[in-house]
Amino acid sequence: MKHRGSIAIIFLIGCATGGVAAQIVIPPARAGTTATRWEHFCGRINAGLLTEQLNRVGVEGWELVSVVSAQQETAFGGTTTREFTFCTKRALP
């Protein structure tokens, strides 16, 4: 008997939850708009010119996405950074 009572309670809770959940409407993301399309530019630059290069592409509307250092090993086992690879993006018109 207890088993039937708990099944009935679970059934009623499920019905109530289902009725409320059916009324919830989640709008689509950015309804009526299209996703932004991007163009990308990556380059490799000497460490001493990195800031100058990033400033130049920034003026052209490029946004920095990532910078990775290209490390080279020295004769004594250390590393030195001489170049950077950078990637940028900007919205297509």
pLDDT in tens, 20-76: 666 677 666 666 677 889 999 998 888 888 888 889 999 999 999 999 887 766 667
Question: Would you say residue 85 has pLDDT above 70?
Answer: yes
- Distance of alpha carbon 50 from the chain centroid: 24
pLDDT number for residue 42: 92
- Contact residues for 58 (Cβ-Cβ < 8 A; gap 6+): 64
Cβ neighbours around 85 below 10 Å, total: 13
Domain spans of the chain? Answer: 2-91
Residue 1: pLDDT band (50, 70, 90) is low
